[in-house]
Amino acid sequence: MVSGVDELDSVARCIELGAADYLTKPFDPVILGARVRASLADKRLHDLEVEHAAAQAELLATIERQKAELSRFLSPQVAALVSTPEGEALLAGHRRQATAVFADLRGFTAFSDSAEPEEVLGVLREYHAMMGEQIVEHGGTLEHFAGDGMMVFFNDPVLQEDHVDRAVLMAVAMRSRFAELAERWSKLGFELGLGIGIATGYATLGRIGFEGRYDYGMVGTAVIVASRLSSAAEANQILLNPRAHAAVETLVRVEPVGDLSLKGFARPIPTVNVVELTGQPAAAASSVLLS
């Protein structure tokens, strides 16, 4: 603003109405030019700040979209892990005690041979949806699923003091929910059962794969034992290795299955089947699972 009025009230009113600066007549052209250049510089700075804010907002939106996309393919824990710098150490590999759970369907090969492809896919969709709900609810990390089989582990990447409790509670919930599905499928002529194996032990966990295609996995004897127990389980059985059984003795009633000779192991492994829940989970699990 350039004006012959030099009262303070007029200056203040002009500034309040949006003026960038105020000069009174007579004015010095050099000062006027300096003030205009300063005003233009402020405008350019403001435009850059707006552009930067817009870029930041777009970056945050992109990160959120990527997290949402990751969560479609990874467990929520791993999706959160890979999107943070501090997760790199865990992704690189580490050892800790963990619990592995394998589950697959009994009678699926015969069913898939006799049923129409659309019926097979429909059954698998219901089965995966039910199992996925229980995995998320109990805080498990899904390593993979292939057809009728899947592997889940606990106590990584998020530490869980009650990881064996969680694994067994999840398996019992899966068996209960599966019974409802199996009853409906049976009316359609589909005879399917669920077998689950659970093993606890020390393992190596971290990023597995190759450039462009990585998974977050668990490697160790417990994984092999859980897989073998799942294969040995009859319909509706939940088989535990000794270490897993010892951790949940007050939580479940079991029946002995005997010493199973599992492929790849020189000595038979004492195994029990979970019959039912008899106790309450640990307080840490209760607050998460039963709230």
pLDDT value at 23 more than 50: yes
Angle at CA of residue 128, ends 125 and 130, nearest 5° = 105
pTM for the model: 0.70
CATH number of the CATH domain containing 145: 3.30.70.1230
The C-alpha atoms of residue 101 and residue 197 are separated, in whole angstroms, by 6
In a domain, 246, yes or no: yes
Residue 51 pLDDT grade (very low, low, confident, very high; cuts 50, 70, 90): confident
Residue 163 pLDDT grade (very low, low, confident, very high; cuts 50, 70, 90): very high
| 282 phi, psi to nearest 5 deg | -60, 155
The C-alpha atoms of residue 182 and residue 159 are separated, in whole angstroms, by 34
Q: Which one, of 67, 69, 214, lies nearest residue 143 by Cα?
A: 214
Task: Write down the pLDDT at residue 157.
Answer: 84
Residue 89, both tokens? 């150490």
Task: Write down the pLDDT at residue 76.
Answer: 65
Mean pLDDT for the chain? 84
Could you tell me if 167 and 42 lie in one domain?
Answer: no
Taking the CB of residue 73, how many other CB atoms lie within 10 A of it?
Answer: 10
Could you tell me if 50 and 175 lie in one domain?
Answer: no
In a domain, 84, yes or no: no
pLDDT value at 137 more than 60: yes
In a domain, 107, yes or no: yes
Domain around 218: 93-289
Who has greater pLDDT, 28 or 185? 185
Could you tell me if 18 and 150 lie in one domain?
Answer: no
Strands 2-3 and 23-24, by their bridges, are: parallel
The C-alpha atoms of residue 101 and residue 158 are separated, in whole angstroms, by 16
Residue 142 pLDDT grade (very low, low, confident, very high; cuts 50, 70, 90): confident
pLDDT value at 70 more than 60: no
What percentage of the chain exceeds 70 in pLDDT?
Answer: 84
Could you tell me if 214 and 272 lie in one domain?
Answer: yes
| Side-chain half-sphere exposure of 273, counting CA atoms within 13 A | 16
Task: Write down the pLDDT at residue 34.
Answer: 84
Number of domains in the chain: 2
Mean pLDDT score, 18-28: 80
Could you tell me if 148 and 49 lie in one domain?
Answer: no
Task: Write down the pLDDT at residue 75.
Answer: 60
End residue of a domain, out of 37, 60, 83: 60
In a domain, 78, yes or no: no
Could you tell me if 265 and 184 lie in one domain?
Answer: yes
Residue 129 pLDDT grade (very low, low, confident, very high; cuts 50, 70, 90): very high
Q: Which runs of consecutive H residues, i.e. helices, occur in the chain? A: 8-16, 29-73, 76-82, 88-92, 108-114, 117-137, 163-187, 221-232, 242-247, 283-289
The C-alpha atoms of residue 41 and residue 142 are separated, in whole angstroms, by 55
In a domain, 52, yes or no: yes
Could you tell me if 49 and 133 lie in one domain?
Answer: no
| Side-chain half-sphere exposure of 243, counting CA atoms within 13 A | 15
Task: Write down the pLDDT at residue 71.
Answer: 54
pLDDT value at 235 more than 60: yes
In a domain, 36, yes or no: yes
Residue 287 pLDDT grade (very low, low, confident, very high; cuts 50, 70, 90): very low
Helix/strand/coil (H/E/C) assignment for every residue in 171-212: HHHHHHHHHHHHHHHHHCCCCCEEEEEEEEEEEEEEEEEECC
Helix/strand/coil (H/E/C) assignment for every residue in 79-116: HHHHCCHHHHHHHHCEEEEEEEEEEEEECHHHHHHHCC
Over the stretch 188-213, which tens digit does the pLDDT of each residue have? 999 999 999 999 999 998 877 777 66
Could you tell me if 170 and 255 lie in one domain?
Answer: yes
Q: Which one, of 232, 229, 250, 224, lies nearest residue 240 by Cα?
A: 229
Instruction: Indicate the SS3 state at residue 269.
Output: strand
Could you tell me if 126 and 257 lie in one domain?
Answer: yes
Mean pLDDT score, 19-44: 82
